[in-house]
Amino acid sequence: MPNDANQKFKSELENELREILKYWKYNTLDESNGGFYGRRNFKNKLIPKADKGIILNTRLLWAFSAAGNFYKDESLKVYADRAYEYLKDHFQDPSHYGLYWELDYTGKPKNTRKQIYAQAFGIYALSEYYRFSSKEEAKDWALSLFDLVETWARDQKNNGYLEAFQNDWSPIADVRLSEKEDNSAKTMNTHLHILEAYTTLAQISKNTKVHEALENLIVLFLNRFYDETSQHFQLFFDENWHRTKAIVSYGHDIEAIWLLTEACKAVANPKLLLKTKSISVAVAKTFLKQAYLPKSGIINEVDLDTGNVDPDRHWWAQMEALVGLQYAYEFSGDIQFRNAQLDIWNYTKKHFIDSKYGEWHFRLNENQEPYTSEDKVSMWKAPYHNSRACMVVIKLI
């Protein structure tokens, strides 16, 4: 990419990062009940009595902390502190420990299940917040959540991590994150977010148990989740690592390659890093062949058994593509990755950024039309993927 195009790209990402943070600072603070509102609809109308989910709240803590670290901006501390205190006062289970899944709008527990995906995001957010605030209690809390995940969720017989538990950490029949998920005992999605959480925790704690667990996760991704034949990461498995469905998520494929790279760096294992770089280029090439449509972004997923394709475009996958393709370009020097990266960004800023109502559309159909039933703020709509991609790519450029 020529220097002038490079600088334009970087400048646009910098501007958009500021807009993202501005939206979440001025549209989500719940001054009546504390913390942050749980929902704003497509037209940015506030739903004041919407439930408050752990994923939104941990991602808010992560985003404001990461942005504070990125900018070295103490003014963001008020938002990070707000997210931290609300997490501590309302989402933390005082009896069985860990983090609740969901509260009502007043902050009372509503769904107290222990989803490992949620504990991972707690670790990730608290570790980033520690970097920003230097609060030892945040690091200690992150390490205590790590101990809970290792104690209850790590499969000592077959390796890997189980998906979910009851409030008291007893087994639960339905382990899904949402109704869209397969009810599988082990998923790539949850393992990926444990991996990113343990990466940051390893960096801030230098804890040998965290180091071991993170290295084990990297090996699982390279040897269990990655399928060399298809050049995809498989999503769903039972406890014994039998694949339960052949659905491929293109966004998770491209996200995994750069998160794995950073995990390898955190454990300082050159052998694993070399293998990860090789796999990353292969995955990125397959990603461009199957998921990328010039001037039309990244499609969502495919079922390898049936051939059924979901052509919808999700906001987060476009942004993870920007990061993953940057890594693939740096590993290979192949200009196709850079060209696709810039094209995906041009598509994203044209179709996903909502200049009328603010923030970003959640999802578009294949005709580039947004789904008006989907929210600007929700359990799954937070300033995480888009702000993180902006920060990471700006640093790399």
195 Cβ neighbours under 8 A, 6+ residues apart = 214, 217, 218, 221, 259, 260, 263
The closest of 183, 305, 160 to 247, measured between CA atoms, is 305
Per-residue pLDDT, averaged over 127-151, amounts to: 98
Give the pLDDT of residue 294. Answer: 98
Per-residue pLDDT, averaged over 103-124, amounts to: 98
> What is residue 185's DSSP assignment?
S
DSSP notation for 311-336: --EEHHHHHHHHHHHHHHHHHH--HH
The closest of 330, 316, 202, 187 to 258, measured between CA atoms, is 330
Per-residue pLDDT, averaged over 372-376, amounts to: 98
Is it the case that residue 1 has pLDDT exceeding 70?
A: no
244-262 pLDDT, tens per residue? 999 999 999 999 999 999 9
Is it the case that residue 179 has pLDDT exceeding 90?
A: no
The answer to which of 8-17, 170-179, 287-296 has the lowest mean pLDDT is 170-179
- Mean pLDDT taken over the chain: 97
Helix (H) or strand (E) holding 363: strand 363-364
Contact 17, 387 (CB under 8 A): yes
Q: Where are the alpha helices (DSSP H) in 101-176?
A: 116-133, 136-148
Give the pLDDT of residue 214. Answer: 98
135 Cβ neighbours under 8 A, 6+ residues apart = 84, 129
Distance CA 114, CA 131 (A): 26
Per-residue pLDDT, averaged over 312-321, amounts to: 98
5-47 pLDDT, tens per residue? 889 999 999 999 999 999 999 999 999 999 999 999 999 999 9
Q: Which domains does the chain have, with CATH numbers?
A: 3-396 (1.50.10.10)
User: How sure is the predictor about 4, in pLDDT bands with cuts at 50, 70 and 90?
Assistant: confident
Give the pLDDT of residue 235. Answer: 97
Per cent of the chain over pLDDT 90 is: 97
Distance CA 211, CA 11 (A): 36
The closest of 232, 219, 345 to 284, measured between CA atoms, is 232
The closest of 338, 303, 323, 301 to 385, measured between CA atoms, is 323
3-state secondary structure 3-55: HHHHHHHHHHHHHHHHHHHHHHHHHCECCCCCCECCCECCCCCECCCCCEEHH
Q: Which is it for the CA torsion 328, 334, 338, 343, positive or negative?
A: negative
Is it the case that residue 2 has pLDDT exceeding 70?
A: no
3-class SS of residue 378? strand
CA angle centred on 82, ends 81 and 83, rounded to 5°: 90
Distance CA 98, CA 238 (A): 24
> What is residue 371's DSSP assignment?
-
3-state secondary structure 191-204: HHHHHHHHHHHHHH
Give, in order, the Cα–Cα distances in Å from 83 to each of 8, 60, 105, 116, 192: 33, 7, 15, 20, 23
Per-residue pLDDT, averaged over 351-370, amounts to: 97
> What is residue 207's DSSP assignment?
-
155 Cβ neighbours under 8 A, 6+ residues apart = 161, 162, 186, 239
Per-residue pLDDT, averaged over 305-310, amounts to: 96
40-51 pLDDT, tens per residue? 999 999 999 999
